[in-house]
Every structure is written in structure tokens, then in C-alpha cells.
Structure 1
Amino acid sequence: MGYRSYVAVGDSFTEGLGDPLPDAPPPAPGEVVRYRGWADRVAERLASLEPELRYANLAVRGKLIDQIVADQVPLAVEMKPDLISFCAGGNDLIRPGSDPDRMAKKVAAAVRDLRATGADVVLFTGTDPRDTPIMRRVRGRFAIFYLHVRSIADLYGCHLVDMWSMQGLRDWRAWSGDRLHMNEEGHRLVAARVLHVLGLPGEDDWRKTWPPRDAVHPRAKRQEDVQWVREHFGPWIGRRLRGTSSGDGLAPKRPDLSPLPPFTP
């Protein structure tokens, strides 16, 4: 049975950062780049199965669990859709002193409210950060939180998308240059996994095996690391010191349940 309404809740992962809309004109000064992402891809597939589908994407980049629970969850509850995806916690986990146990309690309360609407709810574990030098140091924190997410999914009867086990996402070819957000191929793999978990047909296989790649010379790797620090990590640290977020002042890209126009690649 197809879904007639779908609401996506979350942060940059659900907004779709790293997967820009193809052939979109360059943004004007001060204009925010708009992205497609796995949630849009899932909605497009749902719309092909149920032409009357209405879709809202409330996710905003940089948001923490408290902000998502306060600003997005009540809107999703009010909309009473058939399907809700909820993913939060990544921005909390990379901050010093975050407590995965306390975070999980907030997620559990939000999921309880979402499930009380009668909607099917999709939850996510994150990817294993062992291949990311900076985040590898807090790998245990990630593991504890996502074990909680597994338990919450089981407790409230939610669908679970386990990205921790997706080997295709361990390859850097699935990630954008900032090493934090997936690129087009990564979002495509996640969308395929979501559809698989929902028991719905899709065009892609999430069990991707990448072809071998040429070895990277150590000097080239160091140059890549220096560029990454200058273009991505440095600005991120600057925002943390200033107490600002990349999502400050941004509105959701699809704030209301509305029909999804046909996507043209």
C-alpha cells in the first residue's frame, strides 16, 4: 500500500547537503544553495507509486536534537502524515561533552509523539566514524547513541535504516569534499536503503561495491588534508567559537505538505 503523505524531520543529512540539484543556476549573493538529497529521492519514488503523495521536508542544516524536537516534531505531529522520517543527533555527537544517554531520552520522547499520530516512522543509525580521523576519537559515543536508536526503533515499532552496516558508505567516493556530508551517490545509496526497509521497489541497490581505485600519493593526501582544513574544518571551528550555526536564519525547503512536482534529471 502506497503512502499518501510523507514528512522528513532532521538536519543537513535530511535536507540533502552534498547532493545539489542538477543544472541549478548558481546562487545569487546571499542566496542559499538548495539540495535534493535522499529524502527527496524517496519522496520522488513514493510519488511514482502514489501520484497523490504530499511531501514536506522540515530539515534544516546544523540543527541539534533540542532544536529539531522543539521546532520540527510538533509540526510533523500536526500534519499527521502516513510516513515520517526522523534523524537527529549527528551535530550533537561531534560537540565536546555530549551525552548519548541523555540524547537518546529526548529522541525516545519525540518518537513516542510521532508514533502516537499513527504514522509509520523511519529512524536511522549513523555511519561508523572509524575511517574519519577526527571523529574516530569519539567512536564509542557514536556507538552508544546508535545502540539506543536501535532500541527505540524496537520499542516503538519503527523502521530502522542501519547505515552503520552499509559498506558502500565507507568509501570516500560516497562523500562530498567536506567529509561530513554525502555526495549524490551517497544520498542515492541511502534512498535505496530506505525504500528497501519500507519494502518498496526502487531503481538502485544499496549494497554497492566500489571498483578498486588508484593509490593516493602521501604528498597528494597531505595537500587534500590541508585544503580540507582551510575550506571546511576551519570555518566549522570558527562557527563553534562564535556560537553560530550554518542553519541560523534558514527556513525548511518544503515547510508544508504539498504535491511533489515531477523531477527532471
Structure 2
Amino acid sequence: MGRLFVAIGDSFTEGVGDWDTRLPNGVRGWADRVAKQLSKADPSWRYANLAIRSRRLGRIVEEQVEPALAMRPDVISFYAGGNDILELRKDMGRLLDDYTDAVERLCASGAQVLLFTGFDVPLHPLLEPFKRRNWVFNARVRELAARHPNALLVDYWTWDVYNDRRMWDTDKLHMNRAGHRYMAIQILNLLGVRHQLEFEPFGPHERLGPVQLASREFEWMREWVLPMFGRRLRGITLGDRLEPRWPEPIRPADGLKKLYRKRVERQRASSGTRA
């Protein structure tokens, strides 16, 4: 039947920032790219992606962990906790315990488990407490990766290339297409998989004056940060009406865009029949 790669988590794994309307939920992302390259190395590879943007750790564990394990994956990626860290009030001790429990369950399956540190995203000084939470969280991720022989650490924190703002979408919280591509390359290298992806270095930085920098910072706070916390206060998320992009195993060798196009056609035909 072929080996299986299952990706679970939030927007990082769903692919937010790497926009592509020809794919489910309008995004592509590093996981799709990894799956495609796995299939080029061996066409029998299968792939599922259960990640949904804005999901907190509790819902990821509740909605994604058991379905993922039921598929009996050979490789499973687990990135979760970032949205919890950004909550206004959060019990970090409880979060770390819940994350640890989830990792223990995943590693007990015997699959190779990819664990990720969180990048030290440059933030406004008002948001500095959230960065300190990230440092504590990353320490636990490294500890767990060292404890389990079948865990592989994807040490996002240490990759200096992400200090370049051109690796990020306009919200500064999600990687853009270049960022997702680089992430895919690093993961494939860690897995020891030969691939065809390349990353072209950027040219010199655009130099901005103090007024331009202050203006961009203000616009970012107005357009992204304040609406994000507003949604949190109202108890709504951007993923509330979304479904997993690839809920059942597919064969990337058959073409991801082609598979999605067929899915849409089936849904339209089914809707027309019911009408």
C-alpha cells in the first residue's frame, strides 16, 4: 500500500501564508511540498493533512491525534501550542503537560514523529511576554525530542534565514511561499530524502528609514494584531468553518491540484443531484 505521512496541527502545518486557490482551503504549505517530494522519491507514498488554522492544542489533540494514529502513519508531524502561547491568560504548566502527553501518545505509535520548536518572531515590545513563553515551550520540545528515539527535532528556532522579513507573510506570524519552501527543504534534508527543491538566496535588504518602519509597525498592529486579539476575546477563529485539507490519505504522485479539482467536481455533482 505504501508508506504514509500524516501532518497535524494548526495554520503552520495547514500552509497559511503560502496562498494557492487551486488547493484545499486556498493554501499549499511545506507539508504539501514534503509529501510531493516523498512521492517523487517513491510514488507509493501516501499523505494526509488534518491541520486547521487557529487550532489550539486541546482541539488538535481532541480532533486530530486519534484519527491520525488510526491511519497507522510511518511519519507524523506535530506542530501545536503556538496559538495557546498567544492567549492573553494561559497556564503554561498545564500547556506543557498537555503537550507532553500528546507527544508521548504519538511516539508510542512507533511512527517517526517530527517535533518543531517555534521561531523567535520579531514582535513589538508590548508583546514581549509571549516571546518568553515561546522560549519555555521550546525547551520542553527539545527535551521531548531528546527523550524519544523515534522523534526528530525540527529546530525552527535556530534557522537564522527566518530573520529576513521576506520569509514572512504580511501578518509577520505566518511564513510566506519562500518560508514554506525553505521549511520543506530542511525537513526533507532531516528525513534524508533526496529531493528537487531549491532555495534561491534573497538579494540585499530594502533599507527603510525610521518613519517608514514606524508606519509599517502601526499598520501591522492595526490590520493584524488587534483583529487577532479581538477574535480571541469574542471566542471565534479563522478556522471555525474550515475542514481538514486532506482528511483521508491520498497519493501525491497523482497530482495534488488534479486530486483537488476532482474532489470539487464530485462535490458539485453531488450537490446538483440532491437539488
TM-score (norm 2): 0.85
Which stretches in structure 1 are left out of the alignment for 5+ residues? none
CA distance, structure 1, for counterparts of residue 147 and residue 201 of structure 2: 33
Is the 8 Å Cα contact of residues 168 and 209 (structure 1) preserved in structure 2? no
CA distance, structure 1, for counterparts of residue 158 and residue 145 of structure 2: 16
1:187 to 180, 183, 193: 180
Sort the Cα spacing of 1:215 and 1:15 in 2 relative to 1 into closer, same or farther, 3 A: same
Aligned-pair distance for 1:202?
3.0
Aligned-pair distance for 1:153?
1.1
Aligned-pair distance for 1:183?
0.1
CA distance, structure 2, for counterparts of residue 195 and residue 127 of structure 1: 19
Aligned-pair distance for 1:198?
1.0
2:208 to 216, 220, 235: 216
CA distance, structure 1, for counterparts of residue 80 and residue 91 of structure 2: 14
CA distance, structure 2, for counterparts of residue 179 and residue 96 of structure 1: 19
TM-score (norm 1): 0.88
Aligned-pair distance for 1:232?
1.6
Is the 8 Å Cα contact of residues 119 and 157 (structure 2) preserved in structure 1? yes
Amino acid at match of 1:69: V
Q: SS at the partner of 1:6?
A: strand
2:54 to 43, 50, 62: 62
CA distance, structure 2, for counterparts of residue 202 and residue 227 of structure 1: 39
CA distance, structure 2, for counterparts of residue 60 and residue 246 of structure 1: 9
Count of residues in Structure 1 that have an aligned counterpart in Structure 2: 253
Aligned-pair distance for 1:42?
0.5
Amino acid at match of 2:19: P
1:150 equivalent in structure 2: 142
Amino acid at match of 2:130: V
CA distance, structure 2, for counterparts of residue 240 and residue 222 of structure 1: 26
State the Cα RMSD in Å.
2.1
Is the 8 Å Cα contact of residues 94 and 135 (structure 1) preserved in structure 2? no
CA distance, structure 1, for counterparts of residue 67 and residue 19 of structure 2: 26
1:88 equivalent in structure 2: 80
Higher gyration radius (CA):
2
1:114 equivalent in structure 2: 106
Aligned-pair distance for 1:222?
2.6
Is the 8 Å Cα contact of residues 41 and 194 (structure 2) preserved in structure 1? no
CA distance, structure 2, for counterparts of residue 166 and residue 257 of structure 1: 31
Q: SS at the partner of 2:26?
A: coil
The yes-or-no answer on 1:73 pairing with 2:82 is no
Aligned-pair distance for 1:209?
5.5
CA distance, structure 1, for counterparts of residue 196 and residue 48 of structure 2: 23
How far does the alpha carbon of each residue in 1:30-74 deviate from its partner, in whole angstroms, 9 at most, with x for none? xx8410001111101111111011111000000000110111001
- Per mean C-alpha deviation after superposition, the further-off stretch among 55-64 and 151-160 is 151-160
Which stretches in structure 2 are left out of the alignment for 5+ residues? 258-275
2:163 equivalent in structure 1: 170
Sort the Cα spacing of 1:255 and 1:263 in 2 relative to 1 into closer, same or farther, 3 A: closer
Aligned-pair distance for 1:210?
4.1
Amino acid at match of 2:212: A
Aligned-pair distance for 1:170?
1.0
Bigger helix fraction: 2
The yes-or-no answer on 1:203 pairing with 2:202 is no
The yes-or-no answer on 1:262 pairing with 2:255 is yes
- Per mean C-alpha deviation after superposition, the further-off stretch among 163-172 and 210-219 is 210-219
- Per mean C-alpha deviation after superposition, the further-off stretch among 194-203 and 116-125 is 194-203
2:5 equivalent in structure 1: 6
